[in-house]
Amino acid sequence: MDHGGAVRWIEVLDRMGMKFGLERMQALMSALGQPVAGIPAVHVVGTNGKSSVTRMTAAILTAHGVRTGAYISPHITGWGERVALDGVDISPGAFAHAASRVSDAVSGVPGGAITQFEALTAVALDALGTARAEVIVLEAGLGGRLDATNVVAADVVALTGVDLDHTELLGETLPQIAAEKLAVARDGLGAVLLGPLASGARDAVAPIMARRGLSGWAVGQEIAVRSGNGLLVTISTPNGALADMDIPVHGDWQRGNLALAVGAAEQVLGRGVDRGRVERAIREMRNPGRLQIILGSPIIVLDGAHNPAGAAALAATLPEILGDIRPVAVIGMMADKDASGICEALAPAISAACVTRASSGRAIRPEFIARMLEIRGVPVQVVPGPARALERACLDAGPNGAVLVAGSLHLLSDLAPIAVASGSENASGRLAAAHGRDASAEEIWGQ
């Protein structure tokens, strides 16, 4: 199977839909010879911020000389974005090789079929094992207990936060959702890292931690984060303080994610981290679609906020990035999301909106989103097609204004290449062109 065939195979599997459970993944891992057995792993779970924490943790570990693999989902720029080794996306050859092995192993799976996410997870683990990663940092897809990523025995678990999302699958209360996410930690694990949890989430998590003998560090307790002038940030852990780091990380929530990543990296290393290496790691890190800033005329901000909590955090951060400018928003959402709650959070932070439909079969009709914004006083246009919506928003914002793209990672996937081509990225959202990484990718991945 060549790279093109591997991509086609992955895309066809989308028809299988979503199926919770670990039986198929366990069979796959057995058929593949347990490719990551014995490799230390950091498992990142939570409602929001998982990709950022995964990438930050991996980048910090790489900067400290550890050959580190990362697995995130979903992607913005292409399937290969989901798997990285030392910050370099998987090479086409390594992707094809792993996909071929996983495809051959499917015959031994109960039912003889796997889902797309199971296939991608297996491809990532097989490729990272083959490439001799020394540590793996992986993001849970949904929940944790029955997620395909839970075939890896985690040495460190990082919980970014707990909020009401995917309630039809994970439970309708914060304690139920927290229990599903923390199920990736084995009983008695002493390396559980908690992000800056809201009071309700803390109340939900505490009894689960006590009942299961889980312990570790929490942002706001053992881990402290403080903002200084400009983009200076100080992070303190039981290992010491990283004072006045000059890092382009915007928003209290994203600085909280960084603090969580620092704590996770220190748990893996068993010691404190170096301030200069952390600064360099985060400055050079790629994080597409997560508070990604495209400098141009107008400025474009891309963020994957797709639930009310994420949208509220984004709205609170925009003034830090844009000052007094209120952006024109390009918004599209999936049908299973809380459109009303997302619109409630974003409405005060935007000047107008171009609502469209992302290229996904699960996308909600834009007229419904438009109505949710209109009743909150936002001037709205319904624009067919994401590209046309972005063009309209840029015209409305003008060269001195700003555009925000949010509401769905599917929408970001549609528009990120166009937005990046229109401007230049700053260090908080560097998106390297694929051809610029080919040589290093082949060298690092060995395929």
Cβ–Cβ under 8 Å, residues 284 and 430: yes
In the chain, what is the greatest distance between 2 CA atoms, to the nearest angstrom? 58
Q: Which of 25, 249, 44 is nearest to 135 (CA)?
A: 44
Neighbours of 37 (CB within 10 A): 11
What type of residue sits at position 194?
Answer: L
Which 3 state secondary structure label does DSSP give 45? strand
Residues in contact with 297: Cβ distance below 8 Å, sequence separation at least 6, in sequence order:
399, 400, 423
User: 156 forms bridges with which residues in the sheet?
Assistant: 42
Can you tell me the distance from the alpha carbon of 40 to that of 353, in angstroms, rounded to the nearest whole number?
45
Structure tokens belonging to residue 199: 């009071």
> What is the value of pTM for the model shown?
0.88
User: 225 forms bridges with which residues in the sheet?
Assistant: 235
Structure tokens belonging to residue 439: 């040589």
Can you tell me the distance from the alpha carbon of 221 to that of 105, in angstroms, rounded to the nearest whole number?
45
User: 246 forms bridges with which residues in the sheet?
Assistant: 232
What type of residue sits at position 341?
Answer: G
pLDDT tens, residue order, the chain (447 aa): 899 999 999 988 876 566 778 899 999 999 999 999 999 999 999 988 899 999 999 999 999 999 999 999 888 888 999 999 999 999 999 999 999 999 999 988 888 889 999 999 999 999 999 999 999 999 998 888 889 999 999 999 999 988 766 656 666 788 888 888 999 999 999 999 999 888 888 888 999 999 999 999 999 999 999 987 767 999 999 999 999 999 888 888 889 999 999 999 999 999 999 999 999 999 999 888 888 899 899 999 999 888 898 899 899 999 989 999 999 999 999 887 889 999 999 999 999 999 999 887 678 899 999 999 999 999 999 999 999 999 999 999 999 999 999 998 889 989 988 888 876 654 333 333 333 344 467 778 875
Structure tokens belonging to residue 234: 């100080």
Distance between alpha carbon 377 and the CA centroid of its chain, in Å? Answer: 31
